[in-house]
Structure 1
Amino acid sequence: MAEFAKIFKKLRLERELSQSRLADQLGISKSAVNMYERGDRRPDFETAEVIADFFNVDMNYLLGYSDKITRLSGDHTDPTSGPCVEVTAAELELLKAFRHAGAETQAAIRAILHI
């Protein structure tokens, strides 16, 4: 249960949301958000789906069963919508760092990776 609590809180803080604001966005009570973060309670399946959709993460990642975060850039059923990309939490952190790096750093990384 602690894994979900840790991941849920991390996702909230990454979005810079207060517990109240997140509760409003998810349509649940602030006390539910608080209990989820403390590990006193886990969401039911439907609520977990809402949370996973809101944060755009795979349900297995949210519940602590996988380190793969699925960021969908398209729909598997629609060939025109683009590919889906699976990344680990560590890979996502690298992507965030790259996006915040300066132009020279980004160019150096591209040169190292030959892209």
Structure 2
Amino acid sequence: MSVLSERVKKLRSAKRQSQNEVGKALGKSRETVSKYELGEREPDPEAIVLFAKHFNVSADYLLGINEQTENLATDERKPYSPELYSFEKYLKNEKFIPYLQLAVSMMDSNIEIKQFEKLINKIINKTKINLI
């Protein structure tokens, strides 16, 4: 496997794109992208330029001439806003899912927060009494 094939695969994975998505963006088929990644086919200079533009890296990086790139795609996406980033972190946390389901249920049933607080306080008080 060549440096180029390894880097194309790494960049595609980091960008969380399928071979089909990359192929469409470059005007290539999924099979062609797959062959590039497996090292079964070498891209022509035009394809290298397309890859570099698509992944926002230099052609030198793709070819292994340069090991450093400022624009190397990473697994971490830059958040649009701190609020969305925080919300995304909660959504990825499995322990948060029941709370999210509860919030959706509350919205669907039009339960007011004050009613919910009363219910929760009753449950907490009952639990305290049972523990004593």
Measure how far apart 1:68 and its partner are.
Answer: 2.1
Which residue type is aligned with residue 24 of structure 2?
D
Task: For residues 52-85 of structure 1, give each alpha carbon's deviation from its aligned partner in whole angstroms, at most 9, with x where no partner exists.
Answer: 01111010101112102143xxxxxxxxxxxxxx
- Is 1:46 aligned to 2:46, yes or no? yes
Q: Which runs of 4+ in 1 moved over 6 A?
A: none
Which residue type is aligned with residue 13 of structure 1?
S
TM score, norm. by length of structure 1? 0.60
- Counterpart of 2:67 in structure 1 is 67
Contact 1:19–1:34 under 8 Å retained in 2:
yes
Instruction: List alignment gaps of at least 5 residues for structure 1.
Output: 72-88, 101-115
Task: For residues 82-109 of structure 1, give each alpha carbon's deviation from its aligned partner in whole angstroms, at most 9, with x where no partner exists.
Answer: xxxxxxx6xx87xx6xx79xxxxxxxxx
Work out the CA distance in 2 between the residues paired with 1:70 and 1:58. 9
What are the within-5 Å matches in structure 2 for residues 66-85 of structure 1? 66-71=66-71
Work out the CA distance in 2 between the residues paired with 1:19 and 1:50. 14
Identify, as 1 or 2, the structure richer in helix. 2
- Counterpart of 1:8 in structure 2 is 8
